[in-house]
Structures are given as C-alpha cells and as structure tokens.
Amino acid sequence: MAITGGDRIDPDHELGIINCSQRGVKGFNNETLTPHRYLQLNDNALNGSFPNCIKQLQYLEVLNLGNNNFGGSIPTFIGSLDHLQILSLRSNTFNGSIPEEINYLQKLHILDFSRNNFSGPIPRNIGNLERLKSRPNDTFALGTDYAIFDLQLQMVIKGIMTHFERLYNYNSGIDLSYNILEGNIPEGMGLLKGLVMLSLSHNRFSGKIPASVGYMTDLESLDLSFNRLSGEIPQSLTSMDFLTYLNLSYNSLSGRIPRGLHFETLSVDGSAYIGNPLLCGVPTKNCCKGDPCSSTEDPTSIPKDDEDDQEDAREKWLFYGVVASGFIVGFWGLFFVLLLRKEKWWFGYWRVVDAIAARIVGCIRKK
C-alpha cells in the first residue's frame, strides 16, 4: 500500500494529517510524500530502517512509528525536524545510541523510545529541550488554533498504559524504559522543570540519583526501577509536591529513606523501595543506625510513653488540618473555577485537589 500526501499544504494555514495506525500498512511510497504535520504509522507491520523520506517533512509536528518492526539506528537528521513536538518510536527494534541531535528539538514535549534496543548513555545535553523547561500556558499542547482529536498515542503513565486521542498543554513525558542504556543519569535532567512524566526503568543506569531530579517540580510520575543505581535517595525528592507515583525498586540504593509529609504517602507499603536491601527507615523493616528499635518489639503494641503520645496527638491534628484544608480548597476553589469557566483554571483546580487527596489518603493509611 502506498501512502501519498496529495497537494502541497500551506504549513501556516492548513493541517496535514496521515493517520494509518492499525490499518495493516506494509510499506509506503516516499515520492509524493508532502510536508504533512502529522504522520501516524503506529501498530502496523512496517519494517526496515528509519525512513529517510521523513527528513523531507520539515513541518512535521507529530511522528508516531510505534509498535512496528523498524530497526537500525536513528539518523542524525532527526535534529533538523525543528517543529517536532511528539516523537514516539516505542516497541520497535531500533538500536545504537540516542543521537545528540535530539537536543535540537526545542518544541519536543513527548519523547517515547521505550521497548527498543538503544544502548549507551542519555544525551548529555538533554536538559536543553527548551519546551520542557517550563509548563506552557496555551490551551492545547499542539497550539491554540487547532486540536488533534484523532491522535493515536500510547504511553505508560504511572505504571498504566494510557491511550491519548487528544493532548493538552500539561501532557509531557520522556519514556526511555526497557532498553540497554547505561551510564549516569545526566545532572542536566533537572533543568526539565516542565516535565510531568519520566521513566528510565529497566535499563543499566548506574551511579547516584542526581539531586537535580528533585528540582523537576512539575513531575507527577518518576520510575527509575530495575537499574544499577547506588548511593542515597536525594533529600531533594521530598520537595516534589505534585509527585504521585514513585518507583525506585530493584536498584542498589542505600541509607535512610528521606522523610517528608507528602513524600511518605507515595509508598506506604514500601513497594517503591523493594529490591534495595541496604535502604533503612520507614516504610522498610530495616532500622537505620542510631535509631531506637528492637527486633523483639511487638509491632502491634500501642506506645505508652509521653513522647509517643505527643507524636500521636500531632499526627491527629495534622490529619484534621489536611482534611479541613481539602474541604476549603474543594468548596471555594470549585466555586471560583465555575465563576471563571476557564479551561486553564479547571486544570489548576483539579491538580491541587489531586495533590490534597493524595495527602489525605496517605494520612488515612498511616492511621
């Protein structure tokens, strides 16, 4: 089957879309492929190397080649597609290193290279992705003049496969999971303060978790599981107030797990830390050096001393305070949002409500 683009599209006034996802496409003809903005060829039986004809699509904004049989390396011309906002190559057999030219894609906000055979380090200047340094204010992630309702995009968000048919301004993510990448996590990753989701799981990353990761203040999902990371968990992670999913399991991390009101609600059962036998402190069963603990102490017994009673009282008042603040924000916030009826206020309102709900649930579980 040949895919052709028809007449030339004025990139400033028209929207060109090729959507052949899940159509059983076997190949495509590049002779008449014109400067389309959206090329979606995911979920087909396409094979071979990365199509060279794509370098002709200088106005391309969405490229989805996911769930095919493409292989080989990623050509360096990928960096010349400077309008690219979404790049998904997930579930193919691409190999080699991730080209440094990826850093030239200043409008990129979705990068999914998961489930391939990429090797080597993460590009050292990945923190230069300008679009991910802050959260945009526009109505839709793909611009304010149009929206894509026919988007066929899949990403794993907070451990769950999520299907996107439309993207908003707050959708951003980098997924490099299930490859054979190695080396350290770049310190510059912390510059991506507008990033919402980051997954580097199931690779061979080593060294320490950079403290700069804690500066990614908009991050809601962080998965670094199944690597070879060592050292302590940075205290800076406790300042990530919007983080609702954390997975650091099966590494070689050590030392005390950081304490923080919100941070402690992320993994009450300790599942985020399993496979790290040298970690200690709550919620693990390992006692940190210098902490008062006894292996013979009955975990179900109720503390009797005054210090523990005071701690229980503080936790009770904290719980009541969180519930009360949640009610106030929920009631008056909703009233305010309904009054304005602006979509960006809707997003901001529900984001705050989600964060408060997560803290309330965490407090209830601790009780």
Residue 120, domain extent: 38-280
Rg of the chain (C-alpha set):
23
Are 234 and 140 part of one and the same domain? yes
Per-residue pLDDT of the chain (367 residues; tens, 9 = 90+): 333 333 333 333 334 555 545 444 445 545 444 457 889 999 998 999 999 999 999 899 999 999 999 999 999 999 999 999 999 999 999 999 999 999 999 999 999 999 999 999 999 999 999 999 987 664 444 444 344 556 778 888 888 888 887 776 668 999 999 999 999 999 999 999 999 999 999 999 999 999 999 999 999 999 999 999 999 999 999 999 999 999 999 999 999 999 998 898 999 999 999 999 999 999 998 999 888 775 544 444 444 444 555 555 565 566 666 556 665 655 555 555 555 555 555 556 656 666 666 665 555 554 5
Tell which residue, 116, 132, 197, has the closest CA to residue 164: 197
C-alpha to C-alpha distance for 141 and 28, rounded to whole angstroms = 29
- Domain assignment of residue 13, yes or no: no
Position 29 in a domain: no
Q: Domain check: are 45 and 192 in the same one?
A: yes
Q: Are residue 112 and residue 238 in the same domain, yes or no?
A: yes
- Between CA 41 and CA 286 the distance in angstroms is 49
Please state, in angstroms and rounded to a whole number, the distance separating the CA atoms of residues 263 and 267: 8
Residue 162 placed within a domain: yes
Report the number of distinct structural domains present in the chain: 2
Given 280, 302, 320, which residue is the final one in a domain? Answer: 280
Q: Beta strand pairing status for 69-72 and 93-96?
A: parallel
CA distances from 208 to 79, 130, 229 (A): 29, 25, 6
Q: Amino acid identity of 245? A: Y
350 and 203 belong to one structural domain: no
Angle at 202 between CA 113 and CA 217, to 5 degrees: 70
**217 and 350 both lie in a single domain:** no
Question: Do 165 and 53 share a domain, yes or no?
Answer: yes
Is residue 155 located within the same domain as residue 254?
A: yes
Q: Find the CATH number of the domain harbouring 166.
A: 3.80.10.10
- Predicted TM-score (pTM) of this structure: 0.74
Give a yes or no: residue 231 inside a domain.
yes
Is 292 domain-assigned?
no
188: left (phi over 0), alpha (psi -120 to 50) or beta: alpha
- Range 335-338 contact pairs with CB under 8 angstroms and sequence separation of 24 or more: none
Distance (Å, rounded) from C-alpha 252 to C-alpha 263? 20
Do 163 and 77 fall within a single domain? yes
* 130 shares its domain with 207: yes
For residue 130, which of 188, 187, 55, 201 has the smallest C-alpha distance?
188
